Structure 1
Amino acid sequence: MDSEKNIEKVTFKIKGLCCADEEVLLKRTFKKLKGVQSFEVNLTNQLLNISFNPSLLTRDKIIASISKTGMTAITDTKLKRTVNYWKDTRTILLFISFIVAVIGFGADKLHINPFLVKIIYAIAIVVGGIIPVKKAIASLRKFILTINTLLVVATIGAVSLGLWEEAAILVVIFSLGEVLESYAVDKARGSIKALMDLSPQTALVRRNGEEIMIPVEQIEIGDYVIIKPGERIPMDGKILSGASSVDQSPITGESIPVAKETGDTIFAGTINQRGSLEIEVTKLAKDTTLARIIHSVETAQSHKSTYQHFGERFGKIYTPVMFVVAFLTATVPTIFFNQPFSEWFYKGLILLVVSCSCGLVLSVPVAVIAAIGNAAKNGILIKGGAYFEAMNGVNCVAFDKTGTLTLGQPYVTDIIPLGPVDDDTLLAIAATIESRSEHPLADAILRYATTKDIKPDNVIEFESITGMGAKAKVNGQTYLIGNKRLFGQTNYYLKIADEKLIQLETEGKTAMLIGNEKDILGIIAVADKIRPQAKETIQLLKSLGVKKTIMLTGDNERTASYIASQLGIDEYRAHLLPEEKVNAIKELKKDYGKVAMVGDGVNDAPAMALADLGIAMGGIGTDVAMETGDVVLMGDDLSKLPIAFSLSNRTIANIKQNIFISIALVFILILAALFGLVDLVSGLIINEASALVVIANGLRLYKLKILL
């Protein structure tokens, strides 16, 4: 409950939400319902997220409104681990309808009383048609023509022509197709269920000296959780005691377990392998890295590609048009050309049956969610179909350097005094200033100072100067640390340092000048290791159709040149401030069209947001990366990037196949119906079978192995 606005937010699982027509029906239902503030229908995951004013609208009224559409709302929104289709109402009604239809067929063949045979067929039709009729009536009330309306009209038409057997078979086959399609779509939802299964529902917590097993939802920040060998880790936290190796592959896709010891961070959903661990919980169950991944996957359908929008728009226009075409087929030949009414009325019914576009409408979101599930298994979080499409058309990939192309773990390589100071004094000054900084280079200096037992002094008047360095007052004297631009602005004489700077930067090192208000005191050089996978990643991206790779860095010209040459990057731009990276992305978009930006999600966030596709590194440990990236590489594994691009290409190709097959087959069936080449039953069988084929084709993406 939101006390400030008195708004309640609820998520319902919607049973029976199977196609876009029913999604439209729900949307029209809630658009006019008094008290609704906002709502979102998620077709693929069968979810309704709704915000409403409880003084004007109750949960019971929402559930009743959903029931009127022929669908059912479930307030327990946790997806079940397994779905027992034998207990599903549709399956039970299908089974009864099938048995009764078989009895009717047998009675017909044995030449039992024709009237009794009709009654048996009528029972089969009524039982199998309960749900479609309810949905058809609900949709007609909202002036929506759906596949359920189509079935009801076709069945009534067949009965009016005395085709009781065909009408019964029509209902049975339609119901069978609905059940099978629902089963197939649920397979796609399995990617989310698999993620949910990663997190234990309970955990062993130490409270007040006692060990108790409680649901993870009741665990609070600061609680102590005990994790035994072989158990899945239930919460994000920091290790208080114990050491072990942890299998992080469920989240990052990395195959090698990671060694963990006291002080290290661990994540919900990963697997403790050997030692016993006690952790301090740092995030609530709803805020863990795994929970946020699940939420991103569940809401991925809100970021739809143009192909998804096409499928939905096609269905909205196509179904009413086919009703009109079927009506004209049934009436025009008789009225204007004196053709037999029953013959052309029957052809009109066949047109209704074969023109269903469910395969097209369902196959596209199924393909997207299956591909998202595949990516998640590989440690790649893709936040929607729109980003598969964006990735598929990328011509230029821009990379940040530190933490992206390099490991982001710089280390001190050189300390070079240039004034009346020794190495330790120079290091102490640098460490003191950098103790207030959050820059990765500052961490390198502080780590190195620790190894030398040098502790930072007291700092006052610290100031970070973006893109140049920092300054602070230490023991009453002002000191500066940074690049040449920082000292150039303060009129320092740099000639004495130039030779050393050139040498260090040519070796790929980042050199920082340290000085006071009068003199340059020395240089500290820091280097960062290139990621082992970086060079191969660049080559693979080019083989996948990326025309241009470019590095955007705030580092100096010579270091940037060295890194770019080592990796085979086409171009680099150095000395860039964050806003200059944004300008660079603007220029690249003009020159190359679609541009992707790969960064760590912190300083690169503005450039990533402007790019057509933002790709964030290391989402498992960085909240900012999880928020800013359209695509997130959960582990710091750059080799996952070509996998994401390849999966994108396969996904878009799969979607195009499904669209082509669906439209082509419906067109062929329409012609076959007009020329009398298919009857009512065979037309429906072919149509339902084709829908299952394209859905199954989309499902292939979930288990597809990407080999590069």
Structure 2
Amino acid sequence: MNDGSRMVWRVEGMDCASCVAKVTTALGHVPGIANIEVNLMAERLSATVPPVSVAEVERQVRGLGYTITALPATGAAPSHAHGDHDDDPADLEKPWWNTGKARLVWLLGALVGGAYALSLLLPERFTYPLFLAATLVAVIPFGRRAVALARAGSPFSIETLMVTAALGATIIGAAEEAAIVVLLFALGELLENVAAGRARAGIRALASLIPRVALRLRGDGSTEEVAPERLAVDDLVLVRPGDRVPCDGLIVEGNSSLDESPVTGESIPVARGPGDAVVAGSINTDGALRLRVTRAAADNTIARIIRMVEDATASRAPTQRFIERFSRWWTPGAMVVSLAVILLTPFLFGWDWSTSLYRGLAVLLIACPCALVISVPAAMASGLSAGARRGLLVKGGAALEAIGAARTVAFDKTGTLTEGRPRVTDVIAVPGRTADEVISLAAGVEQGSAHPLAKAILVEAGTRGLALPPARDASAIPGKAVVAMLGERRVEVGSPRHAAERGVALGDLASTLERLEGEGKTVSVALIDGALLGLIALRDEPRPDAAAGIAALRAQGVNAVMLTGDNARTGAAIAASLSMSVKAELLPDDKLREIAALKAAGPVVMVGDGINDAPALAAASVGVAMGGGTDVALETADAAVLKDRVTGVSELVGLSRATMTNVKQNVAVAVGLKAVFLVTTLFGITGLWPAILADTGATVLVTLNALRLLAWKPPSA
């Protein structure tokens, strides 16, 4: 039983998935530690640790060559420039070419280059010690790390392979090649460092969207400059034309157009006025706005995006998990093959022992899995960062991989395919009642509800200047109706299906209901004390880009279906205008059954706005929240399209497929180069330094290929 507390550390120096595996394996041997989580992009380690083991955790991590700093358990790690394994924290703010890893590469390069230059003028006995010195300069830190990893449970590490091969080469008199081997290995580590720094820089760029200063309004109407971090919920903030919005908030005064492209990727400025929500990081283009802060800085949209992207990179895709499992067998297997080459080839092929030892060491270097291990996470991190820059948030590699494989995308209707801003078009009261009475009572029941239809009824009541009766004992019948007591009267507002189940006959209004639904309108039936009160018809128009979004999915070979709780006639009318199939009159449980049926034919993506969609989002292969959705949608969904555009879903599919294509290219390069050099090494065509170049070169190629994804743009852009 673990009685420890949750601890959080910042770990600097991790630059690939292999680093994460090393830290995790090492800490697995610490007594009492549990729930170990290592986040590469956030450079964060968290674990449940007994007080007596805290020092041992930090000793183990430092022994691996990383810098570790304790953080408050509830705090997030701040973003810094990427450092290296063996440098002090001051290196973390330096450019990559001035870090400890870079200085090691420059030193080795100078030693090797100087030795080669002198070898043209001096006898070998004078230049050989220089090659030997270059080898030992690098082998000492790498060897120290290899020993620490072996003690921590990772005897077959990349460092072990490299150190063994380099020392073996010096023993057989090939110090020149050994020096080049360690130089190329150090260069490969530096390149991984730079790649990780580039990926982290993409995340840090999001944080730069928050301005350094906010104008907080005082009680007397004057303003004071404060850091956005000091803004509290309900503070009033002035945002002038041209300013960046420093917080998430609601407009209390003013009208303007806001450029939300830095956050959502939506290129067209959107009009905002009193009562509308605005997000931190957007740009006010026109008039002055007064905002009421709705979220603290640590929980605003930008902060949440950064946390989601950082956490997403810690979630491994199935392909990445396979590569990591494969690499664990690859390294010890390669050492066995290398040993076989050394011991068996003299007897099988008549090689002399010097040749078999040399080629066996080369095989050992070819076995370094650096390029293979980094091939998948590098592409995934770039894909996730590229998506975040365009308002496409994906919570992990598994979701990113699954989206592109989807056979079907299921859409909720209201607020997803439609604008989510329905308006009341018709109010029909039963004889003896008035339209105002129907709206007033219905609005009384709906007050406090966040559903778009409820909001439309409340807006209609406000337009008519109606007073709302106080409600009590309000409750909802999922997918059917809302109910409340208004005074001593029980009022229900729900679907025609709910009225039928209550045994309420529509009488002369039945034909009116059929006509309204045939016009593509949603009709709510109002009941009072179990008797018919009237009908309220509402219409919610499809989003302007909905048809284009569905067509884009169809062009990608993905089927689209609408799942709605609305009546069949309304659902069919909207689906027909979008050229898609529809399943209507679905309760939440019915949606789950439809999702299960669709999943039987292949992966399914469910897209919703989060209102009543959380169960279906969770049940699908991948759940996508539209327009940022509600908080529950962002918690439940695997991805989010921050801009209110249906085309964003096809962009997610395109991003996923581009990322997986990049992954396949990387794996092919990493494995292909090794296969070529394995053959040339065994035939004596290439030697030690080309063997390590096979891995370093592959690391360079897969890193550059992965970084290409940072510039990914959807075809429509």
With normalisation by structure 1, the TM-score equals: 0.93
Match of 1:134 among 130, 144, 151: 144
- Answer whether contact 2:229 2:297 (CA < 8 A) is retained: yes
Match of 1:50 among 47, 52, 60: 47
Match of 1:111 among 119, 122, 134: 122
Per-residue deviation, residues 408-443 of structure 1 (Å, max 9, x unmatched)? 111011122331223323322322333354432221
Could you tell me which amino acid in structure 2 is paired with residue 687 of structure 1? D
Is the counterpart of residue 89 in structure 1 residue 85 in structure 2? no
Please name the residue that 1:144 is paired with: 155
Could you tell me which amino acid in structure 1 is paired with residue 625 of structure 2? A
How far did 1:604 drift? 1.0
Is the counterpart of residue 598 in structure 1 residue 598 in structure 2? no
Could you tell me which amino acid in structure 1 is paired with residue 504 of structure 2? Y
Structure 2 vs 1, CA of residues 33 and 181 (structure 1 numbering), >3 Å: closer, same or farther? same
Is the counterpart of residue 32 in structure 1 residue 26 in structure 2? no
Match of 1:414 among 426, 429, 435: 426
How far did 1:525 drift? 0.7
Please name the residue that 2:699 is paired with: 691
Question: What are the equivalent positions in structure 2 for 1:287-306 lying under 5 Å apart?
Answer: 287-306=299-318
Could you tell me which amino acid in structure 2 is paired with residue 173 of structure 1? L
Instruction: Give the distance between the partners of 2:474 and 2:251, measured in 1 at CA.
Output: 33
How far did 1:506 drift? 0.6
Instruction: Give the distance between the partners of 2:351 and 2:483, measured in 1 at CA.
Output: 94
Structure 2 vs 1, CA of residues 551 and 696 (structure 1 numbering), >3 Å: closer, same or farther? same
Is the counterpart of residue 22 in structure 1 residue 16 in structure 2? no
Structure 2 vs 1, CA of residues 463 and 220 (structure 1 numbering), >3 Å: closer, same or farther? closer
Please name the residue that 1:169 is paired with: 180
How far did 1:347 drift? 0.5
Is the counterpart of residue 179 in structure 1 residue 190 in structure 2? yes
Instruction: Give the distance between the partners of 1:91 and 1:98, measured in 2 at CA.
Output: 10
Is the counterpart of residue 124 in structure 1 residue 119 in structure 2? no
- Answer whether contact 1:94 1:128 (CA < 8 A) is retained: no
Structure 2 vs 1, CA of residues 436 and 353 (structure 1 numbering), >3 Å: closer, same or farther? closer
Could you tell me which amino acid in structure 2 is paired with residue 544 of structure 1? Q
Once the two structures are overlaid, the 10-residue window that deviates more, 395-404 or 412-421, is 412-421
Structure 2 vs 1, CA of residues 126 and 226 (structure 1 numbering), >3 Å: closer, same or farther? farther
Question: What are the equivalent positions in structure 2 for 1:465-544 lying under 5 Å apart?
Answer: 465-474=477-486, 476-517=488-529, 519-544=531-556
Instruction: Give the distance between the partners of 1:646 and 1:270, measured in 2 at CA.
Output: 25
Question: What are the equivalent positions in structure 2 for 1:92-491 lying under 5 Å apart?
Answer: 92-112=103-123, 114-141=124-151, 142-200=153-211, 203-205=214-216, 213-334=225-346, 338-435=350-447, 437-474=449-486, 476-491=488-503
Gaps of 5+ in 2: 72-76, 82-92
Match of 1:580 among 590, 600, 606: 590
How far did 1:240 drift? 4.3
- Answer whether contact 1:207 1:223 (CA < 8 A) is retained: no
Per-residue deviation, residues 25-64 of structure 1 (Å, max 9, x unmatched)? 21122112235343212235543233433x3244x65433
How far did 1:106 drift? 2.0
Please name the residue that 2:86 is paired with: none
Could you tell me which amino acid in structure 1 is paired with residue 11 of structure 2? K
Is the counterpart of residue 558 in structure 1 residue 566 in structure 2? no
**Partner SS, residue 575 of structure 2:** helix
Gaps of 5+ in 1: none
Instruction: Give the distance between the partners of 1:705 and 1:440, measured in 2 at CA.
Output: 33
Per-residue deviation, residues 596-634 of structure 1 (Å, max 9, x unmatched)? 111112311111111111111121x62122111111111
How far did 1:83 drift? 5.3
Could you tell me which amino acid in structure 2 is paired with residue 627 of structure 1? E
Once the two structures are overlaid, the 10-residue window that deviates more, 92-101 or 182-191, is 182-191
How far did 1:356 drift? 2.0
Structure 2 vs 1, CA of residues 5 and 279 (structure 1 numbering), >3 Å: closer, same or farther? farther
Identity percentage over the alignment?
Answer: 35
Instruction: Give the distance between the partners of 1:478 and 1:66, measured in 2 at CA.
Output: 65
**Partner SS, residue 52 of structure 2:** coil
- Answer whether contact 1:245 1:272 (CA < 8 A) is retained: yes
How far did 1:204 drift? 4.5
Instruction: Give the distance between the partners of 2:350 and 2:485, measured in 1 at CA.
Output: 101
- Answer whether contact 2:370 2:695 (CA < 8 A) is retained: no
- Alignment RMSD: 2.5
Instruction: Give the distance between the partners of 1:518 and 1:323, measured in 2 at CA.
Output: 80
- Answer whether contact 2:11 2:66 (CA < 8 A) is retained: no
Is the counterpart of residue 71 in structure 1 residue 66 in structure 2? yes
Could you tell me which amino acid in structure 1 is paired with residue 145 of structure 2? K
Structure 2 vs 1, CA of residues 531 and 21 (structure 1 numbering), >3 Å: closer, same or farther? closer
Structure 2 vs 1, CA of residues 245 and 161 (structure 1 numbering), >3 Å: closer, same or farther? same
- Answer whether contact 2:674 2:694 (CA < 8 A) is retained: no
Please name the residue that 2:642 is paired with: 634
**Partner SS, residue 558 of structure 1:** helix
Per-residue deviation, residues 288-345 of structure 1 (Å, max 9, x unmatched)? 1211111111011333222101221121110111111111111212356653111111
- Answer whether contact 1:420 1:521 (CA < 8 A) is retained: no
Structure 2 vs 1, CA of residues 325 and 455 (structure 1 numbering), >3 Å: closer, same or farther? same
Could you tell me which amino acid in structure 2 is paired with residue 593 of structure 1? G
Instruction: Give the distance between the partners of 2:68 and 2:273, measured in 1 at CA.
Output: 46
Could you tell me which amino acid in structure 2 is paired with residue 158 of structure 1? A
Instruction: Give the distance between the partners of 1:267 and 1:57, measured in 2 at CA.
Output: 43
Match of 1:12 among 10, 13, 18: 10
Could you tell me which amino acid in structure 2 is paired with residue 670 of structure 1? L
- Answer whether contact 1:7 1:51 (CA < 8 A) is retained: yes
Per-residue deviation, residues 209-232 of structure 1 (Å, max 9, x unmatched)? 786555444443333444444333
Once the two structures are overlaid, the 10-residue window that deviates more, 222-231 or 163-172, is 222-231
**Partner SS, residue 508 of structure 2:** helix
Please name the residue that 2:681 is paired with: 673
Per-residue deviation, residues 176-223 of structure 1 (Å, max 9, x unmatched)? 122123212322333212222223455454568786555444443333
Per-residue deviation, residues 437-463 of structure 1 (Å, max 9, x unmatched)? 443222111101211111212334544
Instruction: Give the distance between the partners of 1:322 and 1:365, measured in 2 at CA.
Output: 23
Could you tell me which amino acid in structure 1 is paired with residue 97 of structure 2? W
Structure 2 vs 1, CA of residues 478 and 313 (structure 1 numbering), >3 Å: closer, same or farther? closer
Structure 2 vs 1, CA of residues 413 and 371 (structure 1 numbering), >3 Å: closer, same or farther? same
Please name the residue that 2:80 is paired with: 80
- Answer whether contact 1:12 1:75 (CA < 8 A) is retained: yes
Please name the residue that 2:622 is paired with: 613
Instruction: Give the distance between the partners of 2:232 and 2:470, measured in 1 at CA.
Output: 36
- Answer whether contact 2:16 2:192 (CA < 8 A) is retained: no
How far did 1:266 drift? 2.1
Instruction: Give the distance between the partners of 2:557 and 2:471, measured in 1 at CA.
Output: 51
Instruction: Give the distance between the partners of 1:518 and 1:222, measured in 2 at CA.
Output: 42
- Answer whether contact 2:550 2:647 (CA < 8 A) is retained: no
- Answer whether contact 2:16 2:196 (CA < 8 A) is retained: no
